[in-house]
Amino acid sequence: MEVYGKKVQSRLLLGTAQYPSPAVLKDAITASRTEIITVSLRRETANGSGAGFWDLLKACNCHFLPNTAGCHSVQEAVTTAQMARELFGTDWIKLEVIGHSESLQPDVFGLVEAAKILCADGFKVFPYTTEDLVVGEKLLEAGCEVLMPWGAPIGSGQGLRNPDALRAMRAYFPNIPLIVDAGIGRPSDATRAMELGMDAVLLNTAVAKAGDPVLMAQAMAQAIEAGHNGWVADPMDPRDMAVPSTPILGMAELV
């Protein structure tokens, strides 16, 4: 997969929040085989623990994708992105502009506005958005080269609430990297997303809050690989009637 000129082997992007310990986080990153990890500016600087957390992340040898998690306005998101660029030394940014405090649904109007500002400022923006095709067009016009539609509300583990809309996005944007972001709960959800033709999956809570985060990270990596291979293999279409796998012609006749 190639995003903003960077080629990566893994199609799993992994978040770094809510893990039971730094050691478990590091082992989960290793087990997932991810090459891109997301990190919040708030997590990095909270409680004076930023230095140790930063050292742990650097030791993972992954590409950093800072995010603007928790931002509810354009100005807040832009300022957070600028601070993250200074801290993490990357112009990649996962852009979140939250519009609804309970569902954490993106404010797509503010998202497009913030994307225009950040793209013009040299950022490589990964926008957390809905499945809306018009919003997707506006984000691409703003300068984004990737779209990140949600599967379900952040941290809900509901899986893909609107697979038909994701399928439509794939058909409408055939050459744009599409990364399902948020809502994945089980490996089967990740496989389903990839079978719809998505290019990658970004997840956090499903791994961090699992009983065994390291094993779950490994399972998610395997599920995503299987789903992608299934999509590339061009699976058969469902049929209304049974079709025998063994032809009748040539079978013995009892008389």
Coil/strand/helix, residue 209: coil
Give the Cα separation of 220 and 96 in Å (integer).
Answer: 24
Amino acid symbol at 229: N
What value does the CA radius of gyration of the chain take, rounded to a whole number of Å? 20
Coil/strand/helix, residue 251: coil
DSSP letter for 70, please.
T
Q: Which entry of 6, 7, 58, 94 is annotated as an active-site residue? A: 94
Distances (CA, A) of 78 to 73, 115, 165: 9, 9, 29
Give the Cα separation of 178 and 110 in Å (integer).
Answer: 20
* Residue owning tokens 């409680």: 47
* Residue owning tokens 């992007």: 13
Are 216 and 190 contacting, i.e. CB atoms less than 8 angstroms apart?
Answer: no
Give the tokens for residue 209.
């809050």
Binding site residues for 1-deoxy-D-xylulose 5-phosphate, as ranges? Answer: 155, 182-183, 204-205
Q: 95 has which bridge partners?
A: 127
Is residue 94 annotated as a catalytic residue, yes or no? yes
Residue (of 28, 51, 68, 37) closest to 202 by Cα position: 37
Give the Cα separation of 157 and 46 in Å (integer).
Answer: 26
Give the tokens for residue 102.
């309970």
**Catalytic residue numbers, as ranges:** 94
